[in-house]
Structure 1
Amino acid sequence: MGIPKWTIKGIVDDFDECGCCGRRGLKRTVALMPLDADGNEDGSVVYYGTSCAATALSWTQGKVADTARAAQAERDQRDDYARRMISIYAPVEFAPVRDKARVYYGRNQSQRDTGVKATEEVAKLLAEARATLADTTIGPARPWRIEDFRRYVVIFNRDGGISLVRRVPEEEAKRQEQAAAAQRRADEIRGSVLVVAALNAEAARDVAYADELTREWNAKAWQAAHA
C-alpha cells in the first residue's frame, strides 16, 4: 500500500461547506490534513463532507465518521488536560519558588529529590498547555488565560468526594441564591462547599481536590485578574 495523502484531524461543526464538491449546509465536516510523500503533515487543513472524505481516503463513509470521531475525542482529551494544567499551575507561575515547588511536587511526589526542577517543569507544562489550546488547526483557539477562568461552586460529600460542580452565575442575586442552595445541600449530606476558579468544570474538580496552597494561589489569581 502507498502512503496515504490525507490524515483525519477531527470532525467539526464550524464549517458547513465541503471544500471538495462545494456542497453547503452540512451539519458537520471532516477536517483533513494533507500529507507529503513521506507521510508527514504538509499544508493546511481542508474540510470535506463525509462522502468526499471517503472518496479521498478510499474508505467507507462509516470508517471516515468513526475515525473522525476518535480523532476529535483525542483532541478533546488533550484540551481537557491542558485546561487542567493551566487551572492548576498558571496561578503559581509567578509565585515564590518555594510555593511553586510545593504545588508541583505535591502533585508529582515521585519526582521529588530526583533532580527535576519544579520551576522548569511548571513552565514546560504551561507552555505545552497554552500551545494546545491556541492551536487553530481544526477550529478557533480555546480560552487559556487566567482572565478566562470562571468560578465554580463545588459541593463535597461527607467522605470528601465531589457531589456536584456548578458554574457560579454572573448576576449577584443568582450567585447568592446558588450559594444558599449549595450550603443547604451540603448540610443535608453533611458535606462542605468550596468555590474555585478554572477554565471549565472538569478543571474545577482538579483544583477543588488539590492541596490548600494550590487553592490559595488559585483564589489570589482570580482576585488579581478581576481587581
Structure 2
Amino acid sequence: MRTPMWKILGVTDDVTECGCCGRRGLRRTVALMPLDADGNEDGTAEDVAFYGTSCAAATLGWTHGKVTDAAHAAQGERNQRDAYARRMISLYAPVEFAPVREKARVFYGRNASLRHTGVKATEEVARLLAEARRTLADTTTGPARPSRIEDFRRYLVIFTQDRNIRTVLRLPDDENECQKQATAAARRAAEIEGSVLVVAALDDDAASDVAYTHDLAPEYFDQAARRHPDMSSA
C-alpha cells in the first residue's frame, strides 16, 4: 500500500483529539488533507485528518518545528482569505438585490479600472459573493464562519476633517449603550472637526471599507446598518 501523502491546511483548536494516536485534550491539532499520486488534494472536508503536532511530524517525516511553521503559515493564508471574503460580503451583500445602476455604482466606484473593459458589474458582484460565501462555509479546518447580512455587526466610524478614518468602534448590542457610545463618538468627532458614520459589516476591517464606500449607495448600506430607526447615522 502506498504511503499517504498529505498537505497541511492549517491548525485548529476546535478538534482536540489526535486522529492518529487518539490522544485527547490537545491545545490544537494540525489539519491534513490527503493528496493523490500527483500531489493534488484528494478529498473533501470529510477526509481531512486532525493530528497532534508530533504525529503530524512523524507522518510527514518532518521535524516538529517544520510542521508547526508550515501549519501556522497555512492558517495565516486561510485567515487572509477569510478576511477578504468578509470584506466582499460586507461591501456587496447590501447591494446584491439592488437595481443594476446602484450595484454598478458600488462595483465600479471601487474598481474604476474595470469600468470600460467589458467586465459586467452584476456578474462580478455575483461571482465575488459566491466565492466569499464558499470560503467562509469551508469547514476543512474548523466550523463555518459568519457570512450573512444577519451576521453583520454595527460599527461607529469616526472620520477626520479630510475624510480619513480616525477610529472604528464596534457598537454594543444594548441600545442604551449604543446611544452612549454614539454620543461620545460625536463629541470626539466635533473636537477634531470630523464626522461620524454608523455602518454594518462582518468585522472592523471590513467596516472601514464599507465606510469609504458608503456614499456610493447610502440607502443600501444604511439599510444593512439599521436596527433602530435613529441609529442609521450618528
Common fold, TM-score beyond 0.5? yes
1:41–1:63 distance in 2 versus 1, CA, 3 Å: same
**Are the counterparts in 1 of residues 106 and 217 from structure 2 also a CA contact under 8 Å?**
yes
Partner of 2:36: 36
Paired with 1:28 and 1:184, the residues of 2 have a C-alpha distance of: 44
Whether 2:178 is the aligned partner of 1:175: answer yes
Partner of 1:160: 163
TM-score, length basis structure 1: 0.93
Shift in Å, 1:159: 3.0
1:21-64, Cα deviation, whole Å (9 max, x unpaired): 11111111110111111111113111111111111111111111
Secondary structure of the corresponding residue to residue 196 of structure 2: strand
Partner of 1:136: 139
Paired with 1:140 and 1:215, the residues of 2 have a C-alpha distance of: 33
**Are the counterparts in 1 of residues 109 and 216 from structure 2 also a CA contact under 8 Å?**
no
**Are the counterparts in 1 of residues 198 and 225 from structure 2 also a CA contact under 8 Å?**
no
Partner of 1:17: 17
Paired with 2:156 and 2:42, the residues of 1 have a C-alpha distance of: 44
CA RMSD of aligned residues (A): 1.8
Runs of 4+ in 1 over 6 A off after TM superposition: none
Partner of 2:232: none
- Amino acid corresponding to residue 17 of structure 2 in structure 1: E
1:4–1:215 distance in 2 versus 1, CA, 3 Å: farther
Q: How many residues align?
A: 224
**Are the counterparts in 1 of residues 154 and 198 from structure 2 also a CA contact under 8 Å?**
yes
**Are the counterparts in 2 of residues 11 and 72 from structure 1 also a CA contact under 8 Å?**
yes
Counterparts of residues 18-97 of structure 1 (less than 5 Å): 18-43=18-43, 44-97=47-100
My pick for the range that moved more, 72-81 or 109-118, is 109-118
1:94-128, Cα deviation, whole Å (9 max, x unpaired): 11111111111111111112111111111111110
Q: 1:105 aligns with which of 93, 98, 108?
A: 108
Shift in Å, 1:223: 3.9
Shift in Å, 1:211: 4.5
TM-score, length basis structure 2: 0.91
Give identity over the alignment, percent.
69
Secondary structure of the corresponding residue to residue 152 of structure 1: strand
Q: Which runs of 5+ in 1 are unaligned?
A: none
1:186-226, Cα deviation, whole Å (9 max, x unpaired): 122222111000011111010011151234311123449x9
Q: Which runs of 5+ in 2 are unaligned?
A: 230-234
My pick for the range that moved more, 205-214 or 116-125, is 205-214
- Amino acid corresponding to residue 111 of structure 1 in structure 2: L
Paired with 2:226 and 2:184, the residues of 1 have a C-alpha distance of: 24
Paired with 2:177 and 2:100, the residues of 1 have a C-alpha distance of: 39
